[in-house]
Homo-oligomer: A and B are copies of this chain.
Amino acid sequence: METKRRSVVLHSRPGGSPQINHFALVEDEIPALRNGEVLTQTLWLSLDPYMRGRMDDVVSYAPSVKLGEPMTGETVGQVIASKHAGFKPGEIVVGARGWQSHIVSGGDDLLVLSGSAPHSAYLGVLGMPGATAYAGMKQIGEPKAGETVVVSAASGAVGSVAGQLARRAGARVVGVAGGENKCRFVEDELGFDTCIDYRAVTDLSAALRDVCPDGIDVYYENVGGELQHAVFNQMNPFGRLIMCGMVGEYNDLVLRPGPNLRDTFIKRLRIQGFIVLDRKENFTEWRELAEPWVAEGSLRYLEHVVVGMENAPAAFIDLLRGTHLGKVVVRVADALDKAACA
């Protein structure tokens, strides 16, 4: 059995856009297991925009990653040793956190996978990003038939699910994404009514007005920036803004001005932020709801697979730039036969 563990640690804080040298790949011994602990070998590592926030030394809803410590991130792993009654070698689990080849866990966050979907799907469409789309749409957006819903970062892990949920509710769904490739995917594969390529338009407000002639009822916010202002000005009375993320502003050193809030009462808008982790049931509810949809092919998703944990930093930098199409996952290792884990 392998005795070395590889980790991608935070080497220095970016203070702007992350670069490769803000990360470091380190190797050490896999720690000995204590009673109540599980050792997993990471098969898949998820890369998500929220991780950018963990690189800064600021107060947020979750603690920062400390310098020299592994970057945080959800994984799918295989149990290779267990001193925990709830886990057996060979089992596939989701939930351990860390950009690491091997993770020692107390088991509290781990869920043994029993569903039929591919393992990596539990990091995307059936995992945290999918549950995030579900929670925001259900608890804040509540789209109704005939309403117009705009989704930013529409081809991304969260946006792709958010838009499909709004379509299921009978809403007209407009995606916004960067690049013709992404827009074609959003329209043709995900089935959004239309998608604006923000890189190809000179006047984002006009482009939005063109495809939202009846105004906007629900906005699923993932990006911030110019789009946020353009959407805000076109919201309908009683509109809802689901504040999920603003990836386009995460590298800013100074906060940009937001929209003037007068319209909140003139139009009775609701602007509400949320974090999927605040309500644990979001994960289980969503998995139960969405697993059959994934199995039957009615909930579509696409993954961008990066091979090798050593490539995670570059892939993460690209993710923040919007380079990839689909949910970004890192393939760290292949699953072993159960027999080999015993």
A residues lining the B interface (CB < 8 Å)? 53, 60-61, 221, 224, 228, 237, 243-246, 249, 255-275, 278
Q: Could you list 13 A-B pairs, sorted by A, with CB under 8 Å?
A: A221-B261, A224-B262, A228-B261, A243-B261, A246-B261, A246-B265, A256-B260, A265-B275, A267-B273, A268-B275, A269-B272, A270-B271, A270-B272
- A265 neighbours in B (Cβ, 8 Å): 243-246, 273-275
CA–CA, A245 and B258, complex, Å: 18
Could you tell me if A258 and B255 are in contact, using CB atoms closer than 8 angstroms?
no
Which residue of chain B is the closest to A261 with respect to CB atoms?
B258
B266:A249 contact, CB within 8 angstroms? no
If the complex has contacts A269-B272, A272-B271, are A255 and B246 also in contact, measured as CB distance less than 8 A?
A: no
Query: Which residue of chain B lies nearest to A249 when distances are taken between CB atoms in the complex?
Result: B262
Q: Which residues of B contact A249 (CB under 8 A)?
A: 260, 262
Asked if B272 and A272 sit within 8 Å, CB to CB, the answer is yes
CB distance from A274 to the nearest CB of B (A): 6
Chain B residue numbers with a CB within 8 Å of A271 are 261, 264, 269-272
Q: How far is the CA of A275 from the CA of B61 in the complex (A)?
A: 32
A266 in complex: contacting residue of B61, B228, B260, B269, CB < 8 Å: B61
Q: A61-B237, A237-B61, A257-B257 are in contact. Are A269 and B262 (CB under 8 A)?
A: no
Most chain B CB atoms below 10 A, which of A221, A249, A269, A272:
A272
| A257 & B255 in contact (Cβ 8 Å cutoff) | no
Chain B residues within 8 Å of A267, by CB: 61, 273
Chain B residues with Cβ below 8 Å from A262 are 224, 246, 249, 255
Residue of B nearest to A263 (CB): B273
Chain B residue numbers with a CB within 8 Å of A274 are 265, 268
CA–CA, A260 to B273, complex, Å? 13
A260 and chain B: residue at smallest CB distance = B255
Residues of B near A257 (CB, < 8 A) are 257-258, 260
From residue A148, how far is it (CB to closest CB) to chain B in Å? Answer: 18
A268 in complex: contacting residue of B245, B255, B264, B278, CB < 8 Å: B278
